[in-house]
Structure 1
Amino acid sequence: MTTLVAGPDLAAGLVLFALAPAVLAALISAGITWQSMPLLQRYALARPNARSSHRIPTPQGAGIAVVAATLLVAAAWTSGAIPLPLIGSAVLIAMVGLVDDIRPLPVLLRLVLQAAAVAAVVFTTPETLRIVPALPLALERGLILLAGIWFVNLVNFMDGLDLMTVAEVVPVTTALGLFGWFGDLSPSAALLATALCGAMLGFAPFNRPAAKVFLGDVGSLPIGLLLGWCLLELAWNGQPAAALLLPAYYLADSTITLFRRIARREPFWSAHRTHFYQRATDNGFTIGQVIAEVFALNLVLALLAIASVRAGSVPVTIVSLIAGAVSVAFVLRRFSRPQAS
């Protein structure tokens, strides 16, 4: 008689197999970051400016490690299932960020190159992938292109505090990995998210307050592209509400701030400290408090996204969206008001 593997042993093995890409990406990310620190210290110092939360020059560019670890692990683990245009665009946008970290590029040039990278991803996907089939394909893809450019930039804008991007990306990618586990997201997107989660965790010890190194544009821009693609895959898989819920805090903080600056006729493309999370530190919140609240909020948003997907119910999805909006509004209001002494 054939002996079957015990249920708990099989489950444990599957969990270990699912976590292996994250562990490997974390080790690669941490190793490259540690090895590159002297080089970044010499060539890529981030000096304090109007946007900065740090007060002493700090090396930036560790995003090279995060992006390299993510792409290497994801490409190897999926045996080529990650779209080549996505890999090429991530590398292109990382190179643009690297140059900008060392010697700032003109705003228009950066925007054109970012748009080219996003367009290469959006317009090479199969026409059968739709979010709103009632819209003409060209219009939908055009709107996705604009949203993609904005998402790439907002991840960069929000990367202005120690561990901020870690507090955003880890909960979101963990939820995306779970969606892949339950079959609600394509395996390639779920694997990419899992690898990105691990790479960010490998970077985290170097970025905890006071940070020894920053991601830099070389990291935040391609992270925005890769994360945006995973969320787009989720929307294409019939879960647009979850794809909005997961990054809801980043979307709200950055978009509200942008429109406020435009309404005030401020040069919205220049460095500033008017994001809600930046105002929080000016209002008496410590960096640790801001990061803890953002991380907790993102956990709530992830749970709401999971509930909306697993329930498969329109009323549950509507309630989840409302609860997510209320949660985000609550945190933004807290950040915008002075801390009681």
Structure 2
Amino acid sequence: MKFTRRQTLASALGATATLSMPSRLLAQSGPLLHASWGGGVGDTWTNAFAEPYAEETGTEVRIVELPNPEAQFRAQAGNPQYHTGIGTFVQGVNLMRDDMLETFGLDEIPNMKNIDEKYWLKTEDGRIAGVTPYFAYYGIAVNTNEAPVEEFSSWKNLADPKWESRLGMTRPIYLSTYDLTILSKTAGGDEYNTEGGMELLKGMAKNVLNVGNSLAQQNTMLERGEVAAMPFYSVRVWSLNEAGVDYVRIVIPEEGALLLPYAIFAPKGVKNREMVAEWLNYIASAAPQERGTALSGYIPANNDAKATDEIKAKLGGEYDELRARLYQPDWGYIAENQKDTVAAIDQMLATL
């Protein structure tokens, strides 16, 4: 995944600071270190979570921006340098299956009681391996200068030949996880039965003009009207809208959109475990999640979170109403089969 120059510089500076500090000190003294993606995600974690937490508790949390926190967790296995980090739910599942995450009891993270258990990253015996702070969703982003939103009321519209050379698409690693899953549901199947979804994906691929290799590139494709529409992330469209690009809209088709939970986890063997548990418990609470929504459009996971009138207007309703329109698949199954699914998609694309 590529990032902007600003994000790359921030990641490099964070990595330099990490390497210059003795590893025995990184996770044993000083602030808690939280590994985050760069750009808007890092800003959200600084302003909505870390700074308020320091003000309330006196414990400093430093947000370190990285291209891929999961890769750092794997590289530092056995000698973790970060206390917590963010990842997709699939990344969390894979780390958990590889026995690379610290687990916690509900008594250590009691705010998880206010998050629906189907959104928990947990072990088979019920231990908490990750906290879900919020969701985004995967819908269809439309440049309304190029096409009306009504033209994409169904995911099936993406396979309509009328959109030949008018659509954008992401890479197979994400097609396997997101696009194929929601297209399979649209075709009457699900993540376990993807035959119909693969046909819809093939139809969409035939209409694609550009494959975006980074979120920044995909933003540009939509903003400049290089493509009329593409499957995309709600929070990215939120950011475009907040920046004044109001002609790009996110659509939840009639079949629903894909719910994308994120996870915050701690590496196995993390130091200052009690402090980490307190930080995770704070992340699971309603107030910082509400601030995250206001800043970036994320949907809180905590059921006690309240939407202001302004937020409801932007999201199109209450949090519960929005969640009811989103599909939550079996992310564990998707993670387990991702390698084979990517290979099948690569093979399909090679035939076009």
Shorter-chain TM-score tier: under 0.3
TM-score after normalising by structure 2: 0.26
Structure number having the greater helix percentage: 1
- Greater strand share, structure number: 2
